[in-house]
Structure 1
Amino acid sequence: MCGIAGVVSSAGVNPELVREMCEVITHRGPDGEGYHVEPAAALGMRRLAIIDVDGGQQPVSNEDGTVVAVFNGEIYNFPELRRELLSRGHRLSSSGDSECLVHLYEEYGDDLVHRLRGMFAFAIWDRPRQRLLLARDRVGKKPLYWHADHSSIRFASELKSLLLDPAVPRDVNLVALHHYLTYQYVPAPWSITEGVRKLAPGHLLVWEGGTAEVRRYWQLDSTPRPVADERAEEERLRELLLEATRIRMVSERPLGAFLSGGIDSSAVVAAMAMQTSERIKTFSIGFEDPRFDERGYARSLAKHYGTDHHEFVVSPDLLDMLPRLAWHFDEPFADYSAIPSFYVAQLSREHVTVVLNGDGGDECFGGYRRYVLAARSVRIPTAPPSVAPVLARLGARLARRHSQLLRRRAGRALQYLSLPTPRRHAQLMSSFTSEQKTWLYSESLRSRLREIDSHTLLDDAYLSSKAGTDLARILDVDVNTYLPGDLLVKVDTTTMAHSLEARSPLLDHELMEWAAGLPVDLKVRGGETKRIFRRAVASWLPDELVTRPKQGFGIPLAAWLRGELRELAFDTLTDHTARTRGYFRPEAVRQLLESHQKGASHSGRIWALLQFELWHRAHEHTAATCSAP
């Protein structure tokens, strides 16, 4: 696990700049550094040593030094790849996974990505062809930013590395801001900075002859397959989960697991316990508010398997870390579960260097309650074109003007039913609606973004899905948008902030491909979510964990914003600095804050505005400092 950065330029490179780009991401790799420098290319990395601790230095190269690579991630099938490469006559000087990349490139060219099972972002410099290859793993576990002009390209694991280069624009990308306010994250390929792009999951970038070409190499195929024996599929799920967990337990550094008390992380811990004689270290986060506290369920699983269990309680007086969190995220990020994620990573790093988690189970197996709503609503046809606008206007009026909760909910339901299926899902996934953003924006921002519809991102994902039903398409949409844009960014950022590697067995691409072909009624049936997954792992877990309803990894944010965080929100969002940025109408921001204090539910929207402002303040001087606040 590492952080990587580099510059390729026909006009020559500055090696000192690449060193600075790596220094600013030392948290990703505190165990060492390495550089490759030549007239047209400089590649660098910071290393977090996990496998081949003594010998796995980077950059790596082939036998004659004509192909060089820097790599961030883990390749779990590297033992098989090494045996294959040795049988083909390649000479390997280390015993880890990084060196496989350059030799696989010699054998397969860009198609080497299809040979890899793991999480990765890497750069391969082909010196004879003066060609740079960038690649990101299929699902989007590891990040990769890039910026190109007519003569050069720069890349890095984090945006802050690129912003150390004076040639990289620093203006806010207004379209990215527009999408952020809808989804609470900046979706790839945009970044919050004008001119900088994120390489999307499952994509390659080739830089050659001054031109960057981006292409997709993998997309989850959700074409349904027939299932004759449900019990046989449950057995196959157990086999795949055990294998995906086993290959992720290879480590020369201490290893443990996040344990939320939900079925996904519990199943992963169970799969670990069944494949080791060592006592597993588990880590949980809790809250004083019992509505958000899952520690009791986590303790039940920890007791069941005799784990070495550790807990931490998050309270609002700990949130003075918010500027530090904003610095690490590089872009505004408003999923407030980043706070407990940050603290569980900090707790875990005191004991281990690697953790396994349950990420991906909800998207792959239908775990969110919104899927039950979607399954029921798809039976209700979209209102005819002549009726839909009337329903939408009436619903908006009820939702906006009535103080009674029941009438507001009725208004939102009318708005929901006036929409086609993909737009219904988009509405559920939105923090600010299009109308709310129009109300919030300053006149100049409103005019510049008038024609931009953030919901087309989900429309495109829905239409490109090969799934056989509307509900299955919605799961596909989340795999391609919410999972990589929100959940995986959150976990990668908060763990790497503490030099901790996170591994996700349920995001093994072979397991995901198998799960994608299951009929959707094996995932969501009636009011039951994650049907086949629950049944497959039921014998591994205490009964109360199998039958309990899903509880999100949330925090009591609404109450905190009316109490301990009220002053922070008002001071940050209404001071002179925030008012004069020119993005939002000051009176609209204040109205939102005051309405929340009176009992309306605006916590997510306020949090999105607060995180945008905190991001602005944390990164205004990125080029001048390499230190986190």
Structure 2
Amino acid sequence: MCGIAGMASTLAPDTNLVRRMCDVITHRGPDGVGYHDDDHAALGMRRLAIIDVATGDQPVYNEDSAITAVFNGEIYNYAELRRELTAKGHRFRGEGDSETLVHLYEEHGTDMLDRLRGMFAFAIWDRTRERLILARDRVGKKPLYWRADHSSIWFASELKSLAQDPGMRREIDPVALHHYLTYQYVPAPWSIYEGVRKLPPAHVLIWEHGRATIRRYWKLDRAEQRFTDEREAEERLRELLLEATRVRMVSERPLGAFLSGGIDSSAVVAAMAMQSPEKVKTFCIGFEDRRYDERHKARLVAERYGTDHHELAVSADLLDVLPRLAWHFDEPFADSSAIPSFYVAQLSRSHVTVALTGDGGDECFGGYQRYALMNQAGRIPALPRPLATASARFGNLITERSHSKSPARQVGRLMRFVAEPPSRRYATLMSCFKPEQKAAIYTDAFREQMADMDSLLLLETLFRESSAATDLGRVLDVDTMSYLPGDLLVKVDITTMANSLEARSPFLDHHLLEWAAGLPAAMNVRGRRTKLLLKRAMAPWLPQELLNCPKQGFGVPLAAWLRGELRELSHDVLTDETARSKGLFRRAAVLDLLRRHAEGADHSDRLWALLQFELWHRAHAVPGAPALTGAACPQTRG
């Protein structure tokens, strides 16, 4: 595990720049640093040593050093690959997984990606062909940013590395911001800066002689398979999870697991405990507000498996953690569960270097209530256009004027929901700012600039292009390609790497994902019941009390914070001269949102999205701008 950075050029590369790019991400790899320089490429990495601690330094080379690689992640089938490659005459210098990349490339070119089982972002430099290969794992566990001009290409694990180049313009991409306000994250391939892109998951980029081409190398097949025996499916699920967990327990450094109290992390802990000769170390955080605290459920699993359990009640000052998060998240990011994620990573790192997580269980097995809603809504016929327009208009009006969780608000959301076709319904469900809400808050100039840009089309297109036969299958597909890599995995990568901790996710093993993709919809969701197969499969492993609990999520009391300890901060940051000077949002509209939230209507998600954009902007785009009184972004940390 590490952070990588580098460049290739038809001219001489800037080796000093690459060193600065690596220095700023020391938190991703505090255990070592390595560089490769030649006439047309400079590659660098920061290492967090997990496997082959003694001899696993990077960059790695083939036998004649014509092929070089830097790598972030883990290749779980590296031992098998090493045996195959050794049998074909390849010679290895170390004992780890990184070297498999250069030799696989020699054998298979970019088709090597089909052979890899793991999480990764890597760069391979082929000096003979003057070719740079950039690749990212199937679901997007590991990040990779890049930018290019007519002669050069730059890449890095984090955007702040690319920003070390004084030649990179730090101009906000208005389309990326527009999409961010809809989804609370900047979706790939955009980044928040113009001219910088994310390599999407399951894609490979080939750069040769100043030209870059990108292709997708993997996609889930959502065609339903025939399962005649549900008990066989339950048994197969347990086998796949045990195997996916086993290969992720290989480590020369201390290893543990996040244990939130939900089914997914509990299942992973159970699978670890069954295969570990030692007590599994587990980590859980909670809040004093019982609505957001699942520590009691985590204890049930910890006690059942006799884990070495550690808990933390979060009571730290938000004015301390928010600027730290703004610095580590190189783009605006408005998933408030990043706060507990940061704290559980911080707690874990004081005991272990590797932590397994339950990420991906919901997307594999239909765990969110929105899946049940979409499954049921598939039986609702499309409304005639005039009726649909009226229903949407009145639904918006009722929702805007209703208090949080009031019956009227639920009616308004339902009216808006049924007014739209299935693809639009789901995109709307997943949106923070609706199109009309963005139009209302934008300045005239920004509204005109974005007039023809419909962010909801991003998810609508994924929904329509899915190979699934049902609406449930389509939304699982959409989430696997958007919400999972754009939100959940970004959150986990950034918060764990900020604490120099490696996270591994058994549910995201591509063998398990491919098997789960073929499950009939009714095996996962029926009526309002979700994750049915996983719950049945885990019945022998987990306490019944936990299996029967409704899904709680990794939430925070955001609405209360914005009416309480963050009220003054949000008002100041969202309305001061620094905010107004960008010319993006109308001050009167922002003040109205603040006022209505303070009076009881729930606008917490939208206010949080605006606040996180402002904090990001002050931490990165305008160094020296005021962010939080008495709290500085930890820019010396990297």
Return the alpha-carbon distance in structure 1 between the equivalents of residues 402 and 142 of structure 2: 45
Structure 2 length as normaliser, TM-score? 0.97
Q: Which digits, 9 at most, give the CA deviation of each residue in 1:38-85, with x for residues without a partner?
A: 111000000000000010010001000110000000000000000000
- 3-state DSSP class of the match of 2:256? strand
Contact 1:273 1:305 in 2 (8 A): yes
Contact 1:279 1:307 in 2 (8 A): yes
Partner of 2:105: 105
- 3-state DSSP class of the match of 1:274? helix
Partner of 2:120: 120
* Residues 274-353 of structure 1: pairs in structure 2 closer than 5 A: 274-315=274-315, 317-353=317-353
- 3-state DSSP class of the match of 1:205? strand
- 3-state DSSP class of the match of 1:447? helix
Instruction: State the identity as a percent.
Output: 66
Contact 1:254 1:353 in 2 (8 A): yes
Return the alpha-carbon distance in structure 2 between the equivalents of residues 454 and 403 of structure 1: 26
Post-superposition offset of 1:394: 2.5
Partner of 1:500: 501
Contact 2:327 2:635 in 1 (8 A): no
Partner of 1:92: 92
Partner of 1:61: 61
Return the alpha-carbon distance in structure 2 between the equivalents of residues 580 and 543 of structure 1: 55
Partner of 2:457: 456
Partner of 2:159: 159
Return the alpha-carbon distance in structure 2 between the equivalents of residues 626 and 571 of structure 1: 23
Partner of 2:628: none
Return the alpha-carbon distance in structure 1 between the equivalents of residues 441 and 179 of structure 2: 14
Post-superposition offset of 1:381: 1.2
Deviation >4 Å, runs of 4+: 401-404, 621-626
| Ranges in structure 1 where 5+ consecutive residues have no aligned partner | none
Contact 1:261 1:297 in 2 (8 A): yes
| Ranges in structure 2 where 5+ consecutive residues have no aligned partner | 626-633
Post-superposition offset of 1:167: 2.0
Post-superposition offset of 1:460: 1.3
Contact 2:402 2:601 in 1 (8 A): no
Contact 2:27 2:498 in 1 (8 A): yes
Matched, 1:564 2:557: no
Post-superposition offset of 1:623: 12
Return the alpha-carbon distance in structure 2 between the equivalents of residues 94 and 334 of structure 1: 42
Return the alpha-carbon distance in structure 2 between the equivalents of residues 398 and 135 of structure 1: 47
Q: Which digits, 9 at most, give the CA deviation of each residue in 1:252-304, with x for residues without a partner?
A: 00000000000000000000000012011100010000000000000111011
Contact 1:371 1:471 in 2 (8 A): yes
- 3-state DSSP class of the match of 1:540? coil
Q: Say what the alpha-carbon RMSD is for the aligned residues.
A: 1.4
Return the alpha-carbon distance in structure 1 between the equivalents of residues 238 and 154 of structure 2: 43
Q: Which digits, 9 at most, give the CA deviation of each residue in 1:174-207, with x for residues without a partner?
A: 0000000000000000000000000000000000
Matched, 1:362 2:362: yes
Contact 2:176 2:190 in 1 (8 A): yes
Return the alpha-carbon distance in structure 2 between the equivalents of residues 398 and 120 of structure 1: 46
- 3-state DSSP class of the match of 1:610? helix
Partner of 1:522: 523
Contact 2:618 2:624 in 1 (8 A): no
Structure 1 length as normaliser, TM-score? 0.98
Partner of 2:631: none
Post-superposition offset of 1:169: 2.0
Contact 1:328 1:628 in 2 (8 A): no
Partner of 2:243: 243
Contact 1:190 1:197 in 2 (8 A): yes
- 3-state DSSP class of the match of 1:164? coil
Contact 1:9 1:41 in 2 (8 A): yes
Partner of 1:129: 129
> Using a 3 Å threshold, how does the CA distance of structure 1 residues 406 and 621 change in structure 2: closer, same or farther?
closer
Post-superposition offset of 1:247: 0.2
The aligned amino acid for 1:227 is F
Contact 2:2 2:72 in 1 (8 A): yes
Partner of 1:144: 144
* Residues 349-498 of structure 1: pairs in structure 2 closer than 5 A: 349-401=349-401, 405-498=406-499
Post-superposition offset of 1:377: 1.2
Matched, 1:538 2:539: yes
Post-superposition offset of 1:385: 2.5
Partner of 1:189: 189
> Using a 3 Å threshold, how does the CA distance of structure 1 residues 339 and 403 change in structure 2: closer, same or farther?
closer
- 3-state DSSP class of the match of 2:147? strand
Return the alpha-carbon distance in structure 2 between the equivalents of residues 277 and 397 of structure 1: 59
Contact 2:4 2:157 in 1 (8 A): yes
The aligned amino acid for 2:511 is E
Partner of 1:627: 636
Moved more, 377-386 or 241-250: 377-386
Post-superposition offset of 1:398: 2.7
Return the alpha-carbon distance in structure 2 between the equivalents of residues 424 and 65 of structure 1: 53
The aligned amino acid for 2:120 is F
Moved more, 42-51 or 535-544: 535-544
Return the alpha-carbon distance in structure 2 between the equivalents of residues 257 and 398 of structure 1: 44
Q: Which digits, 9 at most, give the CA deviation of each residue in 1:11-45, with x for residues without a partner?
A: 21111110000000000000000000011100000
Contact 2:403 2:602 in 1 (8 A): no
Contact 1:316 1:565 in 2 (8 A): no
> Using a 3 Å threshold, how does the CA distance of structure 1 residues 106 and 291 change in structure 2: closer, same or farther?
same
Return the alpha-carbon distance in structure 2 between the equivalents of residues 336 and 628 of structure 1: 23
Contact 1:316 1:564 in 2 (8 A): no
Instruction: Figure out how many residues of one structure are paired with residues of the other and give that number.
Output: 629
* Residues 28-67 of structure 1: pairs in structure 2 closer than 5 A: 28-67=28-67
Contact 1:324 1:628 in 2 (8 A): no
Return the alpha-carbon distance in structure 1 between the equivalents of residues 392 and 228 of structure 2: 43
Partner of 2:584: 583
Return the alpha-carbon distance in structure 2 between the equivalents of residues 156 and 28 of structure 1: 12
The aligned amino acid for 2:156 is A
Contact 2:401 2:601 in 1 (8 A): no
Return the alpha-carbon distance in structure 2 between the equivalents of residues 311 and 403 of structure 1: 34
Return the alpha-carbon distance in structure 1 between the equivalents of residues 449 and 188 of structure 2: 21
The aligned amino acid for 1:614 is L
The aligned amino acid for 2:433 is F
Moved more, 286-295 or 616-625: 616-625
